[in-house]
Structure 1
């Protein structure tokens, strides 16, 4: 059975290398994947999702086993982003076709939403809400909108151009602990409650990737990880060793740094 499993991984284009322990400035390399890699995300259970150049999504569990695959890539165009903040219902956002696809934990299709049918004309970012509905930022009227799985509008903000002196162009929508974060790498992070009421702005910018965990905003920059505490307004920085490059992208959870090129992905464990 073990030989058959290895043959399966080779045929599928991914072979994780496990338990490669190489401490470097507080980072330990725990896993390496080889294959066709365009993007990747990790959920809070340490499941890894690798997106190929064709838009295929493959899920690996925390032991490195390939456990699910989503391969319905022909109907909705290029995959723009993946939100796995709820591992039981990953969200795929196809920006060019204004389409959201919701999956189950086995990456089977559970719902598909054509946002234009529900008068969201220019969706720029999308993500799962704290109450398992869906947040969408509509660039057409500059509003943050919450819809359910059927596309029904539940909440919307005023035109954000009337609230802020700058134009908001979020690359990500993040939800945690009853709050929603519009993350704009140029203008900062705009925080709303779960009913769409504006709370505050957090001036973290120029990040390569961003995540939220309780009172912390975790940012990955080309040469360092920065964790910003929203309670005391302090941040802690951890340099990323230069030996980890080259890579064209990286992201971080509270205990993992993931770096990848178009054919190699590495997962490091770290602590501050």
Structure 2
């Protein structure tokens, strides 16, 4: 059983580094600060990118295609109509791709060639309200069970390996995370309405950072990356150094923006654009 810290400890650790960090001025990035690396034509509805730079794009029919950083086709997954719309693509481990079909209560696990390894029917595992999932450090899967207000780690067979205590005993108002990220021995749960909740692998609550209203959230190394409608953010927990970059007006109409430490990916109506930035 994962052991969570007491409420008193949690309140003590709920520091707000972002409140001071927000004092840092927003750096204005003009269009010239971004260098176009590549444009991939296509009517895509969603995408993600792994740590090797491989792209995973979903077209209008629901087909998932894996592309090399240069845009060459590497693999295709077509069996999507059985499960409905892909809610989230987790590619944090390029050798094990997770597809979350939230409306169907299903996780499909693919190998690096996008062949199906296994399928988890969450409802058969008594997981009836799972909004977000994430790859775990030990090659299993994190899920947040909103019905029980617990963070759980499940295996490829869907069985629960470990779980936290009830979050309702820990917080006055429980989060509803849209993102779960496992990075550098920490698990991040991000709720746009409440901020980022940080735990260690034993379930001990470490911190809460009140970055609110972000539409994208990820963690790479020790750096938290995110954005809202107008600003890109880079922040390293434990510091007061919040870097803020104003998104140029020409990019603000993008359907989706993905941020990495070196690149920005923009999904538009007819193409996916890849930029490097400084």
TM-score range, shorter chain: 0.7 to 0.9
Secondary structure, counterpart of 2:32 in structure 1: coil
Secondary structure, counterpart of 1:267 in structure 2: strand
Secondary structure, counterpart of 2:57 in structure 1: strand
Mapped pair 1:80 → 2:87: yes
- List aligned pairs for 1:1-272, cutoff 5 A: 24-271=31-278
Pairwise CA RMSD? 1.4
- Aligned partners of 1:259 and 1:266 also within 8 Å: yes
Distance, in Å, in 1 between the alignment partners of 2:159 and 2:254 is: 41
Q: Sort the Cα spacing of 1:243 and 1:262 in 2 relative to 1 into closer, same or farther, 3 A.
A: closer
Runs of 4+ in 1 over 3 A off after TM superposition: none
User: Displacement, 1:89?
Assistant: 0.5
- Choose between structure 1 and 2 for higher RCO, CA contacts under 8 A separated by at least 6 residues: 2
Distance, in Å, in 2 between the alignment partners of 1:233 and 1:146 is: 32
Distance, in Å, in 2 between the alignment partners of 1:126 and 1:55 is: 20
Aligned residues: 249
Structure 1: runs of 5 or more not aligned: 1-22
User: Displacement, 1:220?
Assistant: 2.0
Distance, in Å, in 2 between the alignment partners of 1:69 and 1:45 is: 18
Distance, in Å, in 1 between the alignment partners of 2:59 and 2:41 is: 11
Secondary structure, counterpart of 2:123 in structure 1: helix
- Aligned partners of 1:155 and 1:195 also within 8 Å: no
Secondary structure, counterpart of 1:76 in structure 2: coil
Structure 2: runs of 5 or more not aligned: 1-29
User: Displacement, 1:92?
Assistant: 0.2
Aligned to 1:20: none
User: Displacement, 1:28?
Assistant: 0.6
Distance, in Å, in 1 between the alignment partners of 2:227 and 2:94 is: 22
Tell me the alpha carbon deviations over residues 158-189 of structure 1, each in whole angstroms, 9 at most, x when there is no partner. 12122112231111111111111111111001
* TM-score normalised according to structure 2 size: 0.86
Distance, in Å, in 2 between the alignment partners of 1:244 and 1:192 is: 34
